[in-house]
Chains A and B, each alone.
Chain A
């Protein structure tokens, strides 16, 4: 089985711009979650989607949004980028829920 894939792997954006990251889960997995990893804060949960519905959300501002398509692929959008949004964004998938997730390699976003 192919693993979780994320595109792009690296991205450089300017403050104020917006960005869309993409995630393809493992085939058959219906739950997709997004995380932000920074050196100071570790891994922080952004949100989880299941069957195209956002099921859960972490403590991030509304500039962070996402969606899931009928094929379980998911996108994450960050609007009005700030310098502090520079991080590794990880996507994870599972059959259901947040238990035993499989992570993708991440997208490294740098905001200048």
Chain B
């Protein structure tokens, strides 16, 4: 049973446009949510996080939105740049000190 789902295995976006990566979860007890970015042959890199008590967090070109009633979060990247091409993982954690990752979405930024 997947508690954290990233339903789009891949996404292609034109350079300069907005990239929107989506993530759904089933456990309403999650306390925090994280996004990681992964390039080939490297470990994931922490991007941005959001606490369950917030609905938006922004850091430069990256914004994460949390919709608790829909159990849905999304990562917006504006504007998209070539270096944003990578695999993006959504993750969720709670007070049980366990963390669950989605399977990832591969983002392709097209020139």
Contact = CB atoms under 8 A, between A and B. Distances in A.
* Bound pair (A, B): yes
Interface of A: 4, 33, 35, 41-45, 48, 55-56, 58, 90, 92, 97-106
Contacts of B101: 35, 42-45
Nearest to A58: B98
A10 B45 CA distance: 20
Contact of A45 (B41, B42, B46, B99): B99
Interface of B: 32, 34, 36, 41-46, 49, 89, 91, 93, 96-104
A95 B37 CA distance: 20
A79 B36 CA distance: 30
Given A92-B43, A100-B46, A103-B45, A43 B89 contact: yes
A102 B34 CA distance: 12
Interface residue SS majority, chain A = strand
A101 B97 contact: no
B103 A41 contact: yes
Given A42-B89, A42-B103, A98 B46 contact: no
Contact of A103 (B43, B103, B104): B43
Contact of A97 (B46, B97, B100): B97
Contacts of B91: 43
Given A45-B101, A92-B44, A99-B34, 11 more contacts: A33-B99, A35-B101, A41-B103, A42-B104, A43-B101, A44-B101, A45-B98, A45-B99, A90-B43, A100-B34, A100-B46
Given A4-B43, A45-B100, A105-B42, A99 B32 contact: yes
Contacts of A105: 41-43
B93 A103 contact: no
B66 to A, nearest CB: 16
